[in-house]
Amino acid sequence: MADAVVQTLNPDKATITDMTMADMKTRTPSGLAHPAGSAGAAGASINARGLTKVFGSGDTAFHALGPIDLDIKPGEFVSIIGPSGCGKSTTMLLVTGLEPPSAGSVEIDGKPLTAPISEIGIVFQDHLLLDFRTAINNVMLQQEIRGLDKATLRGRADALFERLGLSGAENRYPWQLSGGMRQRVSIARALVHDPSMLLMDEPFGALDAITRTQIRHDLEMLWLETRKTVLFITHSIEEAVGLSDRVLVMSKSPGTIVEEIVIDLPRPRPAHLGEYPEFSKYAERIYRIFEKLGVYKF
């Protein structure tokens, strides 16, 4: 092994539960893979140099991030882990082009990012589903907004619903779904237009530990099949090590990347990551960095 270079549910409303482990294990790939030469979008590369964000100006200027460099390869799964307020969400906004950097630059697939990009799927901690739309119609919103072919998008939505254990939930409203299922619908919505990058900002932060472990596995399986480039923001060491090819560890505010840890563990990774002795070494390494940075005071 290479050394590390290192919702609660509303009781008044009808709900359906998350899929069980056994249910998920029986699921088979279904029409989402894109071998070379087929129509699906391959993962994009993300490169950033000297990325810095200062909010406000003059006396109220606040240095929120950087400078940071990023080099994420096409199809790579990279996590950023760091303490609250260090600039993780800001990094994500800069990479989408939704927020301009104060200094530095971003290139997506070698092209300078100068405006918000559309070839992207984003999942936030809050599912941000529209209450008045069913699960499938929340996902199909992408087709309506982007003016894409309805039949193609519906086919992809159906395949994603099946892969994410959502079959049967198409016509339920967000309030009829558990927290885990709402996040699954958000993931389907982020992927239905076949973007080249998936950006996830603490997507499982509001879920209970059991649901998080299951959805981590399901996301990993979906990523293995589609190989989108994923930038995953979390403050969970288990999630970062459990999902990533590489973990970038950020300092306290203003966040800079203080360490890069290559996670050399076989995939798919198990529910209980402790099965791998290497897991605790990676986890310990991150704890130590946080201790050194004064994130933890024990």
Ligand X SMILES: Nc1ncnc2c1ncn2[C@@H]1O[C@H](COP(=O)(O)OP(=O)(O)O)[C@@H](O)[C@H]1O
244 near Mg ion (CB under 5 A): no
Q: Quick one: 221 or 247, whose CB is closer to Mg ion?
A: 247
Q: Quick one: 86 or 207, whose CB is closer to ligand X?
A: 86
234 backbone dihedrals φ, ψ, rounded to 5°: -155, 160
Q: Quick one: 88 or 163, whose CB is closer to ligand X?
A: 88
Structure tokens at 103: 């200094």
- Residue 155, contacted partner among ligand X, Mg ion, none, CB below 5-8 A by kind: none
In three-state secondary structure terms, 202 is coil
Find the shortest distance in angstroms from Cβ 254 to ligand X. 8
Find the shortest distance in angstroms from Cβ 218 to Mg ion. 23
Find the shortest distance in angstroms from Cβ 22 to Mg ion. 34
Considering only 45, 52, 79, 89, the residue that binds Mg ion (CB under 5 A) is 89
CA–CA distances in Å: residue 174 to residues 117, 168, 177, 213: 27, 13, 5, 21
Output helix, strand, coil percentages for the chain, rounded to the nearest 5.
Answer: 35, 20, 45
Closest CA to 27 of 271, 186, 220: 220
Alpha-carbon distance 258 to 284, whole Å?
16
80-99 residues near ligand X, rule: CB under 6 A: 82, 84-90
Closest CA to 80 of 259, 229, 291, 266: 259
Number of residues that bind ligand X (CB under 6 A): 12
- Residue 66, contacted partner among ligand X, Mg ion, none, CB below 5-8 A by kind: none
Spatial contact of 13 and 182, defined as CB atoms under 8 Å apart: no
Spatial contact of 171 and 135, defined as CB atoms under 8 Å apart: yes
Considering only 1, 17, 50, 55, the residue that binds ligand X (CB under 6 A) is 55
What would the x/- binding string for ligand X be over residues 233 to 272, using CB under 6 A?
--------------------x-------------------
Interface with ligand X by CB under 6 A: which residues? Answer: 55, 62, 64, 82, 84-90, 253
Interface with Mg ion by CB under 5 A: which residues? Answer: 88-89
